[in-house]
Amino acid sequence: MADQGAQTFRSGEHTLVYHRVGSAAQPVVVLVHGIGMGRVVYAELTEELSRSATVYALDLPGFGDSPELDAPLSMPATGDLLAEFVRGLGLEDPVLVGHSMGGQVVAEALARHRQLCSRAVLVAPSVNPAERSMPRQAVRMLQDLAGESPKVLALGAYSYAKAGPRWFLRKMRQMLAHRLEETLPQIEAEVMVLYGDKDRVCPPAWMEKVADLIPAAYLRAIPGTGHEAVISTGQPAARLILEHAQSGKPRAEVTVRQRN
């Protein structure tokens, strides 16, 4: 598989560092990380996906190797930047995969740029409205990490240290201010909502609500995993993402759920 190493995308004052792995094969998958993280935490997932797809794993501004700005972008503005990235690189109908806060970014990109792609995956998207506060989110994250492997903890510690507490807290405020539940009904793409059934940050009831709010969506759970299900191992998340990418219907054929 072709690995082109770290590359840079620029749009105005914004810079995104990204990693492209794979050949010219379809589908094209774009990975968008959560708060405090970066593309490095998805190394195993990227490797698994790249066996059958071309994968772009990016660092959002202020995370990983992408420089921070004077002020953090809102979720809608970050979604716009993601759309610019997709169009600027000429990616044709990619599958956008957003994890945690990355799910908020992907949701905004889908809602605000409805022709951007026909399929997407929201992996444990935040924030659960029932626990929309910094203290509550901190408790849930700590509870979730308590059962994680040393590898996940080490990757998380490295990524959080690289972002720094000041930027993390500023971005957390943007994350908490965003109302994902208001964005989801505007999405026209076919979406798989993926989560770990032991997730304390995004519990099953919230994931069911997310799927219900999206006109064309379905749920998949990864047994025995928590919030970092796509970081702890490359499988089975890669298999489920590829199945969704390869079996998704063209936009005109997507069945929209009827609501009462």
Segment 27-44, tens digit of pLDDT: 999 999 988 778 888 999
Is the pLDDT confidence value at 174 over 60?
A: yes
Segment 41-97, tens digit of pLDDT: 899 999 999 999 999 999 998 888 888 777 778 999 999 999 999 999 999 999 999
**Strands 54-59 and 14-21, bridge-based pairing:** antiparallel
Return the structure tokens found at 9.
Answer: 């995308």
Residue with tokens 């930047």, as numbered in its chain:
81
CB proximity list for 243: less than 8 A, separation 6 or greater:
none
Binned at pLDDT 50, 70 and 90, residue 176 comes out as confident
C-alpha radius of gyration, the chain, whole number: 17
Question: What local confidence, expressed as pLDDT, does residue 258 receive?
Answer: 32
Is the pLDDT confidence value at 195 over 80?
A: yes
Question: What local confidence, expressed as pLDDT, does residue 20 receive?
Answer: 94
- For residue 245, CA distances in Å to 27, 119, 149, 165 come to 7, 7, 29, 36
Amino acid at 219: L
Question: What local confidence, expressed as pLDDT, does residue 72 receive?
Answer: 79
Average pLDDT value over all residues in the chain: 82
Higher-pLDDT residue of 132 and 204 is: 204
HSE (side-chain half, CA atoms, 13 Å) at 111: 22
Looking at the chain, the whole-number percentage of residues with pLDDT higher than 70 is 77
Question: Containing H/E element for 124?
Answer: none
- Which of the listed CATH numbers 3.40.50.720, 3.40.50.1820, 3.40.190.10, 3.20.20.70 matches domain 3-247? 3.40.50.1820
- For residue 74, CA distances in Å to 81, 104, 228, 258 come to 11, 10, 23, 31
Question: What local confidence, expressed as pLDDT, does residue 260 receive?
Answer: 30
Higher-pLDDT residue of 99 and 25 is: 99
Q: At what angle do helices 150-163 and 165-177 cross, to 10 degrees?
A: 100
* 8-state DSSP, 97: E
